Amino acid sequence: MNDRLLRALRREPVDCTPVWFMRQAGRYMAEYRAIRSKYTLLEICDRPEVTAEVTLQPVRLGVDACILFADILLPLAPMGCPFSFEKGEGPVLHKPIVKASDVDELRLIDPRESLSHVLEGVRLSKRELAGKLPLIGFAGAPFTLASYLLEGGKSAHFLKTKRFMIEHPEAWEKLMVKLSTVVADLLIAQIDAGADVVQLFDSWVGQLSPHDYTTYVLPHVQGIFEKLQARNVPTIHFGTGTATLLEHMATCKSSAVGLDWRMPFAKGWETIGHEKAVQGNLDPCMLFAPPEKLFAAADRILAEAGGRNGHVFNVGHGILPETDPGVVKALVDHVHERSKR
């Protein structure tokens, strides 16, 4: 097995820096678009054999891991909040949470039953990877999931989410407990189905002040990583816009923290502490720059990582749909070559 990713996440020496990309399976790849012309996103996620096929598509780019093809919103439907993906709008929740008592209606699910197709997708992807590359499982973090439940879709200011958090602290607490329970169970079930690593996506948490993060969110995320300790697989804690939250995120028992490009890499790692691994942090827009500028940006990140054990190269947020897969492959090769120990 190519175990660079696992070794880096455990801060063990590697032959070169491992690379994978958030959203590495997706619309920028022609072979993904071919599948999407036959199935909707949710149909791909419902069919384990299609899930596995899409999960493995980025292998040809030379990446050091595959990430399960799924979506952070999948647990919300069986919990009682169905949603769909509308063209140009992103996710739309059909019954967003509006009042405090709506939280009581949310069902606590057993992912092994309600999301058995996702777990079958993990098992099939593992089988098809045949031990060549590690498989990353994932889930959305409670704040980011709550933001979709409360906003009903994407949001600019997260006003409904923040109002609910401040006006209904008891219902917010119940919501966080329910979501954290489901998320931890789902991640553990993915590990038991074969995931070698799991990543928690708290994509929108950077919207919060450090005070509100530590008061309303952090204890629940700490609890999730605490539960994951029992399985002893590496874990990644990712968010964006987290420069002022990193010191608090670092108190969670994750193996690694994901950094976006707004935080200089070396400063970010110092803030997190060198006893954790770090993932990041190229601006995904740099994949549109002329090759010499793209490679220079990658080299700056590698220089800031300074050859220290525990760096996983990635973008600071998902690959954009307009990206050229040829550039992605060239970047993977460049990082591997430049980081050779």
Choosing from 23, 231, 300, 338, which is the catalytic residue?
23
Q: Is 16 helix (H, G, I), strand (E, B) or coil?
A: coil
Longest dimension (CA), the chain: 57
Choosing from 27, 112, 231, 300, which is the catalytic residue?
27
Nearer to ligand CP3, 190 or 203 (CB): 203
Nearer to ligand CP3, 10 or 36 (CB): 36
Least separation in angstroms between residue 306's CB and ligand CP3 is 28
Least separation in angstroms between residue 41's CB and ligand CP3 is 4
Q: Give catalytic status of residue 148 as yes or no.
A: yes
Choosing from 36, 47, 112, 262, which is the catalytic residue?
36
Nearer to ligand CP3, 28 or 225 (CB): 28
Nearer to ligand CP3, 273 or 321 (CB): 321
Q: Give catalytic status of residue 112 as yes or no.
A: no
Q: Does residue 314 have a cis peptide bond before it, meaning omega lies within 30 degrees of 0?
A: no
Which DSSP string corresponds to 167-200? H-HHHHHHHHHHHHHHHHHHHHHHHHHT-SEEEE
Residues in the chain: 341
- Distance, in Å, from the CA atom of 310 to the CA atom of 61, rounded to the nearest integer, reads 22
Choosing from 10, 39, 46, 71, which is the catalytic residue?
71
Q: Of 134, 154, 130, 208, whose CA–CA distance to 176 is shortest?
A: 208
Task: Dig out the tokens for 181 from the structure.
Answer: 């329970």
Nearer to ligand CP3, 72 or 263 (CB): 72
Q: Is 15 helix (H, G, I), strand (E, B) or coil?
A: coil
Least separation in angstroms between residue 144's CB and ligand CP3 is 6
Least separation in angstroms between residue 64's CB and ligand CP3 is 14
Choosing from 28, 32, 148, 213, which is the catalytic residue?
148
In angstroms, what CA-CA distances link 317 with 21, 290, 297, 330? 8, 20, 15, 19
Nearer to ligand CP3, 201 or 261 (CB): 201
Whether residue 218 contacts residue 143, with contact meaning beta carbons closer than 8 Å, is answered with: no
- Distance, in Å, from the CA atom of 140 to the CA atom of 84, rounded to the nearest integer, reads 17
Least separation in angstroms between residue 274's CB and ligand CP3 is 26
Least separation in angstroms between residue 33's CB and ligand CP3 is 8
- The helix, strand and coil proportions of the chain, stated in percent and rounded to the nearest 5, come to 50, 10, 35
Q: Give catalytic status of residue 23 as yes or no.
A: yes
Residue ranges in contact with ligand CP3 by CB under 6 A: 22-27, 36, 41, 67, 69, 71-73, 85, 90-91, 138, 154, 201, 203, 318
Least separation in angstroms between residue 307's CB and ligand CP3 is 27
A 10 A CB-CB count for 291 gives 11
Nearer to ligand CP3, 24 or 295 (CB): 24
Whether residue 148 contacts residue 91, with contact meaning beta carbons closer than 8 Å, is answered with: yes
In angstroms, what CA-CA distances link 181 with 5, 108, 224, 338? 27, 8, 8, 42
Catalytic residues: 23, 27, 36, 71, 148
